[in-house]
Amino acid sequence: MSLDDLKYVKVKTHPTARNQAVSTQPLLAGSIVLSNQAFATVLFENQKGRRCDHCLVLSETLRKCSGCASCCYCDANCQTRHWPSHKKLCKRWNSFASSNEFQALPPHERLDCVLLSYFASPLSANDQLAIFKSLLPGPTHHSPPPTCTPVDGADGLYDRFGNNNFTIHSHLNSFAHGIFPLASRLFNHSCTPNAAARYKLVRGQAVTMEVVALRDIAEGEEICIPYLDPALLQTRQQIFQLTYGFQCTCISCEGLKSVGPIPDVPQDPARLAALEYRLRTFIGVDDLEHCVLRTKPITQSLPSEIRCFLKEDYIEHLSGVFSQSSHDGPYDRALDSGTTLLAMYLLIYPENYPQIGMHALELAKTAWNASMPMNDIVRRQHAMAQVRACLSVSRRILGLYGPEGDGGGPLAEITTLQQLVDQEG
C-alpha cells in the first residue's frame, strides 16, 4: 500500500513536522484508521526461541533454522517467507554474533544491527524502501552499528531508524521492534493522542500494525499517536529533543508547563495517605461505578496540594508497589496502590488510553484473588463490587481498542474473569 491508496487519512503539510495525517471523513472511536504490515521485525533477545522469527507468534513447537540455529519458525511456510530477509545473515550469523564487535554493543544497538540487515536484504523490494528513504531523518547523525551483512546506503537508512522504529507489543508488553514505513510517514506524536497502534499476530504472516481511533475524530482533524508513554511527565521533552528533534506542544505538555515546578511528594506516611485519598476523591476512582471516565486535563482545576503526584518517579513507584503486592500480597496494599495508580492514569492519560483499561483489568484480577479467602460476607461483597466495576472500565476501554497480540489479547482475559464473576452470582 502507498500514500495514494489510503482511505481514511490523507497527507497534509504541517507547520513544523513537514507533513501530518488528517482524516478524510468523520471516524468513530474504535475505527481502524490504517492497517500496515511490517516490512521487517526483530525479536528482543529474551523472546528468541519463544516466538517465530517470521510471524512473531508464540509457540512451543518451533523449528530451528538449520543454517544458523538462531532463528526459529512455526513451520516451513514461515521459514520460506523469512528467507529473503534472513538469507544473507544466516551464513555469517554465528561468527558475527560471537564477535567482540557485536558483543560490545548495547542491547538496542544489537537489535538495530539485525533489523538493519533484515530491512536492507530484500533490496529489490518495492515502494516500502522508497517510502522509508523519504522519512525524516533523526536530529543527529550516528554511524550505523556494524552489520553482519553489507548494507547499501546503511548510513542513510540508519539515520532514519531511531525516530521511525516501532515497539511491537502484546498485552501492552513490548517484545520486538519493527519497521512500518507507511505509519512512520503518516503519524506525528501527541501526548494526548486520538489514536494508538495495536498489533495483530497471525501465524504465517508478517505482523500487522492497526492504528485505532481512541475517540471520535472529526473530518480534517490531525491523527496523532504516542511515540512515548505519556506517563513520562518530566523526561519526555528531553527524549523528544534527542531522539526525534522536536519539542512537544500538545495540550498535556502545555498544561504541565503552566503548572510550573512540581512539589515533592510528602515523606510523612499519614500526610501522603491523606493526599492520595484527596486525589482519588478528585478523580472519583473509589466509586468507579459512578465515576465519569472522562480523563482530566492536567491543568484544569487540579488542586495545588495534589500537584505533587505529577512526578513520574511517583507513578513508577506506585506501579512497582502494585505489581509486587498483586503477585505476592498483601492484597490490601495491592488494592490501595492499584486504585491510586488508576486515579493517576485517569489524570495523565487521554480518553480511552489502553493502559487505563489494562490496569483496570489487573486491578479486577487482584480484587478477585483478594476476595477468594474472605469469609466475612460484607468484605467479600465489597471486593466483588470492585471486581465488577474494574471489569466494566476495562471492557469499555479495551473493547474499543480491540483484540491485540497473543491469544485474543486482554479481551479474552476479560471474558474469562467475567464468567467467574457470573458464576459467583
Ligand X SMILES: C[S@@+](CC[C@H](N)C(=O)[O-])C[C@H]1O[C@@H](n2cnc3c(N)ncnc32)[C@H](O)[C@@H]1O
Q: Which residues bind ligand X (CB under 6 A)?
A: 14, 16-19, 135-136, 163-164, 184-185, 188-189, 244-246, 248
Burial class (CB in 10 A: 0-12, 13-18, 19+), 36: buried
Residue 12 near residue 22 (C-beta atoms within 8 A): yes
∠ CA 124-130-136, nearest 5°, is: 145
Identify which of residues 6 and 136 has a Cβ nearer to ligand X in the complex. 136
For ligand X, the closer CB: 86 or 185? 185
If the CB atoms of residues 29 and 136 are measured against ligand X, the closer one turns out to be 136
Shortest distance in whole angstroms from residue 230 CB to ligand X = 12
CB of 284 to ligand X, least distance (A): 31
**Most distant CA pair in the chain, distance:** 70
Structure-block grid coordinates of residue 271: 500526610
Taking the complex as a whole, the smallest distance from the CB of residue 286 to ligand X amounts, in Å, to: 35
Residues 334/322, Cβ–Cβ less than 8 Å? yes
- For ligand X, give the closer residue by CB, 188 or 386: 188
- Tell me the closest approach of the beta carbon of residue 16 to ligand X, in angstroms: 5
| CA–CA separation, 139 and 163 (whole Å) | 9
Contact present, 308 and 272 (Cβ < 8 Å): no
CB closer to ligand X, 230 vs 410 = 230
CB of 134 to ligand X, least distance (A): 7
Closest separation in Å from C-beta 279 to ligand X: 29
Shortest Å distance, C-beta 298 to ligand X: 17
Distance of alpha carbon 339 from alpha carbon 18, whole angstroms: 41
**Shortest CB 411 distance to ligand X, Å:** 28
Task: Let me know: does 9 contact 21? Beta carbons within 8 Å.
Answer: yes
Pick 79 or 165: Cβ nearer ligand X? 165
- In this structure, the number of other CB atoms found within 10 A of the CB of residue 220 comes to 12
Minimum CB separation of residue 174 from ligand X in Å reads: 18
In this complex, which beta carbon is closest to ligand X, that of residue 236 or of residue 365?
236
Residue labelled with grid coordinates 501465524: 203
Residue number, 11 or 384, with CB nearest to ligand X? 11
Closer residue to ligand X, CB minimum distance, 182 or 360: 182
Query: Rounded to whole angstroms, how far apart are CA atoms 196 and 217?
Result: 13
Q: Please, what is the end-to-end C-alpha distance for the chain in angstroms?
A: 50
Minimum separation from the CB atom of position 140 to ligand X (A): 11
List of E strands, 79-207: 166-170, 173-179, 188-189, 195-200
Q: Residue 131: which of 221, 19, 42, 248 has the closest Cα?
A: 19
**Residue with Cβ nearer ligand X (163 or 295):** 163
DSSP H or E run through 374:
none
360-363: Cβ within 8 A, 24+ apart? 360/390, 360/391, 360/393, 360/394, 360/397, 361/390, 361/391, 361/394, 361/398, 361/410, 361/413, 361/414, 361/417, 362/322, 362/326, 362/338, 363/335, 363/338, 363/339, 363/390
